[in-house]
Amino acid sequence: MRLVVALGGNALLLRGEALTSENQRRNIQIAAAALAPLTGDHQIIITHGNGPQVGLLALQGAAYKSDESYPLDILDAETEGMIGYLIEQELGNYLPPERLCATLLTQIEVDPNDPAFDSPSKPIGPVYSKTTAERLANQHRWRIAKDGEYYRRVVPSPRPRRIVEIEVIKSLIIRNVVVICAGGGGIPVVKDVDGHWRGVEAVIDKDLAGALLAIELGADHFLMLTDVDAVYQNWGMPKARAIRRISPGALREMAFAEGSMAPKILAACEFVEKTGRIAGIGQLKDVVEILDGTAGTTIAPDVDIGWWD
Just list the catalytic residues: 9-10, 122, 206, 264
CB 86 within 8 A of CB 167: no
Round the CA-based radius of gyration of the chain to a whole number and report it: 19
Q: How many CB atoms lie within 10 A of CB 105?
A: 16
Reported as type and span, the H/E element at residue 287 is helix 287-292
**Which of 72, 42, 35 has its CA nearest to residue 54?**
72
Give all strands (DSSP E) within 88-214, no chain letters.
101-104, 107-110, 122-128, 143-147, 150-155, 160-163, 178-181, 187-191, 197-199
Q: For residue 219, what is the enclosing H or E element?
A: none
**Any residues with CB less than 8 A from the CB of 42 and at least 6 apart, and which?**
1, 2, 3
Degrees to nearest 5, angle at CA 20 with 132 and 96: 145
Give residue 125's identity as a one-letter amino acid code: G
d(CA 270, CA 156): 21
Q: How far apart are CA 92 and CA 86, in angstroms?
A: 10
